[in-house]
Amino acid sequence: MRAELIMVGTELLLGEIVDTNATFLARNLADLGIDVFFKSTVGDNRERVGGVLTEALKRSDVVIMSGGLGPTDDDLTREVVSEVMDAPLVEDQEVLRDLEEWFAERYGNADMPRHNRKQALFPSGSRVISNPVGTAPGFWVEREGKVVVALPGVSQELKAMFSESVLPALMQKGTGEMLVTRNLHFAGIGESNLEEILEDLLREQSNPTLALYASGGTVRVRMAVKAETREAGLALMAPVETEIRRRTKEYLYGVDGQSLEQVVAEILLQKKLTLALAESCTGGLIGHRLTNVSGSSGFLDRGYVVYSNQAKMDELGVKQSTLEEFGAVSEQTAREMAEGARRAAKTDLGLAVTGIAGPTGGTDSKPVGLVYISLASNGDTIVQRHLWKGTREQIKNRAALMALRLLWQANE
């Protein structure tokens, strides 16, 4: 089965909102084993929406549309589908009654605006898709083996309606196969380097297939296989995953939805290790990521955001002589920050970051993007030097990521 997406809304073309609906729909369709070869974004124009829908129906079995189901004059999806599918609009009395009751309850028995009446109109023969979180119902209409599904553009509404109504219906029309996916997450290695390590596996792939994606300093390998059941798919992927793990052990930190901070948290909790943070250029970002993990209070004792030199001396005991001789961004200062945090908090571990996030503050000897990360433990202190390019936010995020990676590697 082949599906196609049409995202309706001038606001999408103007860049006023980010189209998360297409990502959600494409991922769910892929999981069903339904191929998506085309996605179109079109403004609120009757002629253009009609043209796009006409072409989509020529090449696809299922067309899912998002947006244009509201009550205003520029909400045109129902009218366009009616024309293209040759299915006159019919008023659904039950939907109309529900709309009137909704307005009466919400606005104290006030009459429903007449424009909202159009939300009870559907192409003849449609199956109405109820909206559990909004006022705009969707619809499923089928003609000559072709299906058009129309859903609202509001993301929360679309996701609920798709999951509750559209997904089960598509599963019944499915091919008998499903797409089983598994994601492996890597840190500390670039996409091109990882591609070289896995070059022969990528070249010889068939079922499962492999794809690499880089984002925010991490790389993801997506394995996908078509199979009749999830268990069968995972069995087909198992030998490939075993080989990938063998080659990439020092970089592979998680699977599927696991984040690096979740993996770190699991290790520290299991080993009953406590941690104190000393952050300069990251400004609390490491602490933020770790405290996003439920149960982080079981290992994270405290965090120091020591942006000034005085704070580094007052809170962590960094020597003034160290700062004067080597500077705040140096191996020596990072070491004293990590050891000072561990000592002050009386924890098993002390993790410190100091660097120049830019865009100002760099010199020839210490350019923007220079970051030192240090991890202090009982009798041992590790210091790593990094130099990255990017915006201030990118450098901060990369520093936080690599600090977490150091925690993971040192305690794995």
Q: What pLDDT, in 10s, does the model give residues 277-335?
A: 999 999 999 999 999 999 999 999 999 999 999 999 999 999 999 999 999 999 999 99
Indicate the range of 112-126, 343-357, 366-380, 392-406 predicted with least confidence: 112-126
Asked if pLDDT for residue 174 goes beyond 70, the answer is no
**Is domain 260-411 in CATH 3.40.50.300, yes or no?**
no
How confident is residue 216, by pLDDT bands cut at 50, 70 and 90? confident
- Mean per-residue pLDDT over the chain, rounded: 93
Give the per-residue pLDDT at 199.
Answer: 95
Biggest CA–CA distance in the chain, Å, is 83
Q: Which residues have C-beta within 8 Å of that of residue 21, sequence separation ≥ 6?
A: 7, 66, 151, 153, 155, 158
Asked if pLDDT for residue 23 goes beyond 80, the answer is yes
Asked if pLDDT for residue 42 goes beyond 80, the answer is yes
Are 355 and 278 spatial neighbours (Cβ–Cβ below 8 Å)? no
Distance between CA atoms of 286 and 151, rounded to whole angstroms?
A: 39
Give the per-residue pLDDT at 176.
Answer: 63
> Where along the chain do its domains lie?
2-172, 178-255, 260-411
Which of residues 136 and 365 earns the better pLDDT score?
365
Query: What's the rounded mean pLDDT across residues 188-206?
Result: 93
Indicate the range of 81-95, 196-210, 366-380 predicted with least confidence: 196-210
Give the per-residue pLDDT at 390.
Answer: 92
**Is domain 2-172 in CATH 3.40.980.10, yes or no?**
yes
Which of residues 20 and 178 earns the better pLDDT score?
20
Are 6 and 52 spatial neighbours (Cβ–Cβ below 8 Å)? yes
The structure's pTM equals 0.70
Q: 178-255 maps to which CATH number?
A: 3.30.70.2860
DSSP secondary structure of 300-342: EEEEEE--SHHHHHHHH---HHHHHHH-SSSHHHHHHHHHHHH
How confident is residue 109, by pLDDT bands cut at 50, 70 and 90? low
Give the Å distances, CA to CA, from 165 to 127, 140, 175, 306.
10, 10, 18, 52
Asked if pLDDT for residue 161 goes beyond 70, the answer is yes
Give the per-residue pLDDT at 172.
Answer: 78
Give the per-residue pLDDT at 226.
Answer: 82
C-beta atoms surrounding 152 within 10 Å = 28
> In the numeric block, which tokens belong to residue 366?
């210490």
How confident is residue 254, by pLDDT bands cut at 50, 70 and 90? very high
> In the numeric block, which tokens belong to residue 211?
């794809």
> In the numeric block, which tokens belong to residue 65?
């549309």
